């Protein structure tokens, strides 16, 4: 194993171990911004769910925050990363971030505590689960996974866990007894567990897989997508109900207009996001039904 991969895996393994401990630190998590704060300009936090490990997430999303800060009037944003899904979910449950970029299941939860959808982050057809395996795995059909280990970022990751587990259920796999489910803390770790032979298959979704192929081309060349789920609806952008309209309306307009400039297109490419689309709470009703069906047939998303 080369040193680059070894160092990477140590980092993602530690994040996974922290996630497995079920402990959420009181710290707010890393926040980033390059524009100097002003006593006269309110600062709003923009928290993104763990699409990537924290360092990669900052690399991908910090240009977006800088872009908006250069154009916002009367407000500034700071980017907030979270070490894992549980950390992020604890933040919005306590209504701490001002803006969120959650997955669709987290979107439903956030509505319950006073957040509303103002945009969709990416095209709906890009929101689907994929299974990554080694090219020499010998797997061909889902039934081949029986008795084997599958990695996921988190039990609450919609595209990278819930949808893949429902796919397996629909193909005759009892995910509670036929396989071992291993929740490893991040999208990259789910993929890397497969590369290292620690799991037979890893669940993720297209943006992290595309990023992995760019960042680790040699390792990605030994992996392949073997199955994918149907699409659902993509991640949302949400605002807390006490953020002034003159602030969030500017944020929404800047997001929706990103694809109109070369700078904006470069930022979108860095986030592995084609564009931001207009959206509202009603667009996520389909997720509510999907989760209801999943919990009826497979398991509870969150254990009581």
**Phi and psi at residue 277, in whole multiples of 5°?**
-115, 150
Instruction: Quote the CA–CA distance of 161 and 142 in Å, as a whole number.
Output: 15
Q: How confident is the model at residue 239 (pLDDT cuts 50, 70, 90)?
A: very high
Instruction: Quote the CA–CA distance of 169 and 189 in Å, as a whole number.
Output: 23
In the chain, domain spans: 42-123+234-293, 128-230
Instruction: Quote the CA–CA distance of 198 and 187 in Å, as a whole number.
Output: 15
The per-residue pLDDT for range 198-211, each reduced to its tens digit, is: 999 999 999 999 99
CA distances for 105 relative to 9, 19, 114, 295, angstroms: 28, 19, 15, 12
Whole-number pLDDT of residue 116: 98
Whole-number pLDDT of residue 303: 72
Inform me whether the pLDDT recorded for 296 exceeds 80. Answer: yes
Whole-number pLDDT of residue 26: 36
Q: Report the candidate in 164, 163, 157 with the shortest Cα–Cα distance to residue 188.
A: 157
Whole-number pLDDT of residue 304: 60
Q: How confident is the model at residue 56 (pLDDT cuts 50, 70, 90)?
A: confident
Inform me whether the pLDDT recorded for 45 exceeds 60. Answer: yes
The per-residue pLDDT for range 151-192, each reduced to its tens digit, is: 999 999 999 999 999 999 999 999 999 999 999 988 999 999
- Please determine whether the domains at 42-123+234-293 and 128-230 fall in the same fold group of CATH: yes
Q: How confident is the model at residue 292 (pLDDT cuts 50, 70, 90)?
A: very high
Whole-number pLDDT of residue 176: 96
Query: Interhelix angle for 206-215 vs 187-195, to 10°?
Result: 60
Instruction: Find out if CATH 2.70.98.70 is the number for domain 42-123+234-293.
Output: no
Whole-number pLDDT of residue 54: 86
Residue where the block lists tokens 């800047």 = 254
| Tokens linked to 288 | 């509510």
Whole-number pLDDT of residue 21: 35
**Phi and psi at residue 276, in whole multiples of 5°?**
-105, 140
Q: How confident is the model at residue 4 (pLDDT cuts 50, 70, 90)?
A: low
Q: What mean pLDDT comes out for the span 116-139?
A: 96
Compute the mean pLDDT over every residue in the chain, rounded to the nearest whole number. Answer: 89
For domain 128-230, give the CATH number. Answer: 3.40.190.10
- Interacting residues of 169 by C-beta distance below 8 A, sequence separation 6+: 175, 297, 298
Whole-number pLDDT of residue 297: 98
| Tokens linked to 245 | 């309209």
Q: What mean pLDDT comes out for the span 40-45?
A: 94
């Amino acid at each position: 194993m080369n040193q680059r991969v070894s160092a990477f895996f140590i980092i993602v393994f530690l994040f996974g171990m922290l996630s497995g401990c079920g402990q959420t630190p009181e710290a707010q998590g890393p926040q980033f911004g390059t524009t100097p704060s002003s006593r006269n300009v309110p600062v709003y936090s923009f928290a993104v769910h763990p699409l990537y490990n924290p360092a990669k997430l900052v690399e991908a999303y910090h240009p977006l925050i800088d872009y908006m800060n250069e154009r916002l009037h009367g407000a500034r944003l700071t980017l907030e990363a979270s070490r894992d899904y549980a950390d992020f979910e604890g933040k919005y449950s306590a209504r701490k971030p001002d803006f969120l970029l959650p997955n669709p299941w987290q979107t439903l939860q956030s509505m319950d505590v006073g957040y509303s959808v103002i945009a969709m982050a990416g095209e709906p057809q890009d929101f689907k689960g994929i299974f990554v395996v080694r090219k020499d795995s010998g797997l061909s059909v889902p039934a081949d996974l029986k008795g084997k280990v599958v990695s996921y970022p988190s039990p609450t990751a919609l595209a990278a866990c819930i949808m893949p587990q429902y796919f397996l259920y629909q193909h005759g796999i009892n995910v509670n007894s036929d396989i071992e489910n291993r929740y490893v803390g991040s999208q990259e770790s789910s993929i890397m567990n497969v590369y290292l032979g620690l799991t037979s298959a890893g669940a993720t979704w297209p943006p992290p897989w595309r990023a992995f192929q760019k960042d680790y081309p040699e390792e990605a060349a030994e992996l392949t997508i073997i199955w994918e789920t149907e699409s659902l609806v993509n991640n949302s952008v949400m605002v807390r109900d006490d953020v002034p309209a003159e602030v969030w309306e500017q944020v929404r307009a800047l997001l929706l207009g990103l694809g109109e400039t070369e700078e904006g297109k470069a930022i979108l490419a860095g986030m592995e996001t084609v564009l931001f689309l207009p959206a509202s709470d009603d667009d996520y009703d389909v997720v509510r039904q999907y989760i209801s069906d999943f919990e009826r047939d497979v398991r509870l998303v969150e254990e009581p």
